[in-house]
Amino acid sequence: MAEQAGAEHPPAPLRAPEGRVPPVVVRADLTSAFAVASALAVLGIALGRLWASLAPARRMRVVADDGRLATLPLEGWHRFDGLAMFLLLGLAAGLVTGVALWLLRSWRGPVLLMGAVAGSLLSAWLALRTGVAFADAAYAVPGTPRTGSVVARPPVLETAWVVLAQPFGVALAYGMAAAWNARDDLGRRT
């Protein structure tokens, strides 16, 4: 039977746009990802130095001749202060790094993100190690203190879980920018 006049035709299938989306090139992006990871590792030493200079020392009183120490009232809170400062410094460094890396249009992609997260993890680990070493050197007690004297103890980081704040900040900032972009090629210039 012939087609009836006015009958609706099914919609045409959707076609891919004329411009092809370039494939993800892993090998070419590895150099930039390695460069970013290396630069972020060096940043960790600076973050450790900054934390050591900002984190408050705990003042303690020498209570015995053998050097036993007792924390002065309200000084015990500084254990948390040092930990919170390290966490916030790492998170801020991660967020700034993620935004800065997003602005590098020619390097955008998942390989750069993985390099940045790995570099940030290494950076945070170096900041943890060097920060504690810088703080120990800054608050060294010369000689043996007398009973009743007050000494400053260096800030400590009692958990290593704080190293996850910086890579989390990088992944959060970069991921939010990529989700907001909503382009298949992430707006990458080739």
pLDDT averages per 10-residue partition of the chain, 190 residues: 57 53 68 92 95 89 74 75 95 97 87 95 97 91 76 87 97 93 72
Structure tokens at 178: 């990529």
Q: How far apart are CA 174 and CA 107, in angstroms?
A: 12
- In this structure, how many other beta carbons lie within 10 angstroms of the beta carbon of residue 30? 14
DSSP 154: P
Q: Report whether 76 contacts 57 (CB < 8 A).
A: no
pLDDT of residue 66: 72
pLDDT of residue 96: 97
pLDDT of residue 6: 53
Beta bridge partners of 153: 58
Q: How far apart are CA 8 and CA 183, in angstroms?
A: 34
For residue 30, the Cα-to-chain-centroid distance in whole angstroms is 20
What CA–CA distances, in Å, run from 173 to 52, 113, 145? 26, 10, 48
Q: How far apart are CA 10 and CA 21, in angstroms?
A: 28
pLDDT of residue 15: 47
